[in-house]
Amino acid sequence: MVRHIVLVVLLSFSSLASAAIDTYQFKDDATRERFHALSTELRCPKCQNQNIADSNSPIAKDLRDELYRMLEDGADDEQVIDFMVTRYGEFVLYRPRMSEQTYLLWYGPAALLLIGVIVVLLVSGKRKKSEPGKPDSNLSDAEKQRLDQLLKQDKNK
Amino acid sequence: MRRLIVILPLVLFVALGLFLWNGIGKDTETIPSPLINKPVPEFSLSALLDEQQTITAADLKGRPALLNVWATWCPTCKQEHAQLNRMVRDEGITIYGVNYKDDRDKARIWLDKYMNPYALNIYDPEGKLGLNLGVYGAPETFLLDAQGIIRYKHVGAIDERVWSELRQKMKQLEVN
């Protein structure tokens, strides 16, 4: 059983290993790490559901080369992102920057959650209010008597 | 209040539905270019037909023109080529070419074979200019005004329909 689990875990990582393979020689491990981080965060403009690390399209290869060149030249992350955005637009960022256009994207889920919480609180609050004093009936005295009668009838059966 | 809460899901559902319905059939391939209303990026590359001649961004100024990114390995470029020829022959449009990540000899043979509509052809074998122009799939065509500012970008082949749209935009530039 354990062996199976190990196998499944290993297989689930195999896609990472088989993603586009280039032979880049990095000056140090930190640069390699940054290359991997940035290339998985930049979106391929041609094949829009892939990042440039995964995509085999020529443009993704060009962008990887450019990314590699920039990092080797000592560019910081900000410069790399700016370089890509000035050419391909905000579109290439898988993690869009905060702007008027993306407020909905960033705050939308939180707002929906908040609405949900408020609705739940309102609904449950109402229910609590109506619980303590037995069923709050709007029945008139005559109707109450009739109700008691009916209940008694049930009991006598 | 209670009634409001009861119809809230319906309102949300309708709003979400309209939002998603609005997106159906929209072109998701074309991404808006951040270069619109910016000048053509600086470059200094050789001419395709004359290795000795150096072309820079300044050479693209003077009159409204199209800047067409093409390559011999790109089937859609072949498809639009006759249209480009027609536009130059019948309407005297100025088209500059960017020969993108291509081979000089192949490109020359190609132009001999299918005619050359380009007033100038920039040879960009490494795709450096293409990268600076944000090219992600040839053919791409930029509309430049007389000052060499990019005013519009079309991704994909130019056919009669696209051209009639471009022609209008180009005429407007000429008036200004």
- Helix, strand, coil percentages for chain B (3-state, nearest 5): 45, 20, 35
* Chain B interface mutation, best of A46, A62, A94, A130, highest count of B Cβ atoms under 10 Å: A62
For chain A, the domain total comes to 2
Partner residues linked to B44 by β-bridges: B56
For residue A14, the distance in angstroms to the closest alpha carbon of chain B comes to 29
Q: Which of these, B128, B125, B60, lies nearest to B95 by C-alpha position?
A: B60
Last residue of a domain, one of A49, A81, A97: A97
In this structure, are A8 and A62 located in the same domain?
A: yes
Question: What is the pLDDT, as a whole number, of residue A1?
Answer: 67
Q: Who contacts B74 (Cβ-Cβ below 8 Å, separation ≥6)?
A: B138, B139
Closest C-alpha to B88, from B111, B109, B106, B71: B111
CB B100 within 8 A of CB B132: no
CB B42 within 8 A of CB B73: no
Are A71 and A34 within 8 A, CB to CB?
A: yes
pLDDT band at A157; cut points 50, 70, 90:
low
Q: Global pTM? A: 0.73
d(CA B74, CA B25): 26
Indicate if the pLDDT at residue A78 is higher than 50: yes
Mark whether A87 and A29 lie in a shared domain.
yes
Instruction: Say yes or no: A10 and A87 in one domain.
Output: yes
pLDDT band at A14 (very low <50, low <70, confident <90, very high): low
Any idea what the Cα angle at residue A80 is, between residues A78 and A81, rounded to 5°?
Answer: 65
A21 and A92 share a domain? yes
pLDDT of A42 higher than 90: yes
Q: Are A108 and A152 in the same domain?
A: yes
CA distance B92 to chain A (A): 31
Tell whether A93 and A105 lie within a shared domain.
Answer: no
Is A138 found in the same domain as A75? no
- Asked if B31 lies within 8 A of A88 by C-beta distance, the reply is yes
Q: What pLDDT is stored for residue B14 in this prediction? A: 96
pLDDT band at A113 (very low <50, low <70, confident <90, very high): very high
Total residue length of chain A: 157
pLDDT of residue A153: 85
The verdict on A47 and A122 lying in the same domain is: no
From chain A, the residues in CB contact with B35 under 8 A are 87
CB A54 within 8 A of CB A21: no
**Domain end residue (candidates: A78, A97, A116):** A97
Interface residues of A toward B, Cβ cutoff 8 Å, are 45-46, 48, 58-59, 62-63, 66, 85-91, 119, 122-123, 126
Q: Is the pLDDT of residue A17 over 60?
A: no
> What are the CA-CA distances from residue B174 to residues A39, B40, B95 (Å)?
42, 18, 15
The enclosing domain of A74 has a CATH number of 1.10.8.640
Taken in order of first residue, the domains within chain B and their CATH numbers are 30-175 (3.40.30.10)
Residues A136 and A71 in one domain: no
pLDDT at B4: 80
pLDDT at A18 over 50: no
Co-location of A68 and A80 in the same domain = yes
Residue B11 forms contact with A (CB below 8 Å): no
Say whether B137 and A48 touch across the interface (CB within 8 A). Answer: no
Which residue carries 């991704």 as its tokens? B155
Residue among A46, A86, A123 minimizing CB distance to B136: A46
Beta bridge partners of B122: B47, B98
CB contact under 8 A, B34 and A66: no
- Are A122 and A85 contained in the same domain? no
Chains A–B, number of C-beta pairs less than 8 Å apart: 41
Among A55, A70, A97, the domain-final residue is: A97
Full domain range(s) for residue A142: 101-156
Are B67 and B138 in contact by the 8 Å Cβ rule? The answer is no
Same domain? For A56 and A130 the reply is: no
> Are the CB atoms for A32 and A40 separated by under 8 Å?
no
Pick the closest to residue B140 from B38, B32, B22 (CA basis).
Answer: B32
B107 has a pLDDT exceeding 60: yes
Q: Where are any strands of DSSP class E within chain B?
A: 44-46, 54-56, 65-70, 95-100, 120-124, 140-144, 150-155
